[in-house]
């Protein structure tokens, strides 16, 4: 997470449509220069080859990044048949090749094997940590990395169209799913090899193409407007958490990190009206029409776990 203590206190989410050819870190660097924000972070890395939705948190929104990282994601991608590559995408060196090409029927018949909870091995060139080092760093040094398979969840997987050498897909998946691994594994099963030649992320939770902004558009807007005219509120990613309006005394206690206890009948009625019951574990405290804190609920007690300084 990038910090700049001398910068400007800017808070909120930017739903950036990352362009081709730059890293997620480079995209954040450009946003930081435009906003002069003190603190930035992002939810879900995109490779330089990939385009699409890159949610960027500024200021106090960085405290809500975990809620986005766990969100479902949607990708559109193209697999080129006939070659396996070191990176499982078009940037790597060719390791195996084949003249065989799968039929549309063969591809369609294979898709159900990649829906549900599936086991996949992340690519050699991935951000997985091996003994404290990133797998892609070890792979660049020529080292063969032993990456263990892991379970991921795929909710939906569709074949959109095919040509002789390529096939285009749409994938709706959970956290930690590697599109490149799916392309690689499909190519191996079909006996023709394959790698990702085009990749676009179209959604991360509630961040979609419809409410995104390109880097060029953001740069133009920043020439004549303040960042808060473009940013989504900090609480954008907390919609699933029940909100509870706080009194002046409660606001003061929360800002001091003190636990609140709800014992009286009026207190219990407040919780009920807000949709908070015995199954609730997190509550969004709201004060002065702004997000105040995330509170952990334990019985009758609400304890601040993340306080927003907005």
Contact 14, 62 (CB under 8 A): no
Query: Quick one: tokens of 280?
Result: 């609730």
Which residues carry out catalysis? 47
- SS3 percent helix, strand, coil of the chain, rounded to 5, is 30, 35, 35
Residue among 138, 116, 114, 136 nearest 187 (CA): 114
CA distance 140 to 305: 40
Q: Which run of H or E residues covers position 183? A: helix 179-190
Strand partners, 99: none
| DSSP per-residue letters across 196-227 | EEEEEEEEETTEEGGG-EEHHHHHHHHTTS-G
Kind of pairing between the strands at 301-307 and 260-261 = antiparallel
């Amino acid at each position: 997470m990038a910090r700049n203590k001398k910068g400007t206190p800017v808070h909120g989410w930017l739903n950036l449509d990352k362009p081709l050819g730059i890293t997620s870190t480079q995209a954040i660097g450009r946003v930081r220069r435009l906003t002069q924000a003190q603190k930035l972070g992002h939810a879900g890395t995109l490779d330089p080859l990939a385009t699409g939705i890159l949610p960027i948190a500024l200021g106090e929104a960085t405290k809500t990044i975990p809620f986005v990282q766990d969100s479902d994601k949607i990708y559109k991608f193209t697999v080129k048949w006939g070659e396996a590559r070191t990176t499982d995408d078009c940037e790597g060196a060719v390791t195996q090749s084949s003249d065989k090409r799968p039929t549309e029927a063969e591809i369609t018949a294979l898709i159900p094997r990649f829906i549900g909870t599936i086991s996949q091995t992340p690519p050699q060139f991935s951000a997985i940590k091996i003994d404290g080092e990133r797998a892609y760093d070890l792979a660049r040094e020529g080292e063969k990395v032993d990456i263990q398979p892991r379970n991921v969840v795929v909710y939906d997987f569709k074949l959109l169209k095919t040509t002789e050498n390529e096939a285009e897909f749409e994938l709706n998946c959970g956290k930690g799913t590697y599109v490149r691994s799916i392309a690689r594994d499909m190519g191996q099963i079909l006996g023709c090899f394959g790698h990702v030649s085009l990749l676009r992320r179209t959604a991360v939770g509630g961040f979609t193409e419809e409410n995104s902004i390109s880097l060029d558009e953001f740069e133009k807007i920043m020439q004549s407007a303040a960042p808060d005219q473009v940013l989504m509120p900090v609480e954008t990613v907390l919609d699933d958490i029940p909100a509870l309006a706080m009194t002046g005394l409660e606001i003061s206690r929360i800002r001091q990190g003190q636990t609140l206890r709800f014992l009286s009948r009026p207190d219990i009625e407040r919780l009920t009206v807000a949709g908070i019951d015995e199954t609730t574990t997190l509550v969004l405290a709201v004060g002065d029409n702004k997000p105040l804190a995330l509170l952990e609920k334990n019985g009758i007690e609400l304890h601040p776990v993340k306080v927003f300084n907005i």
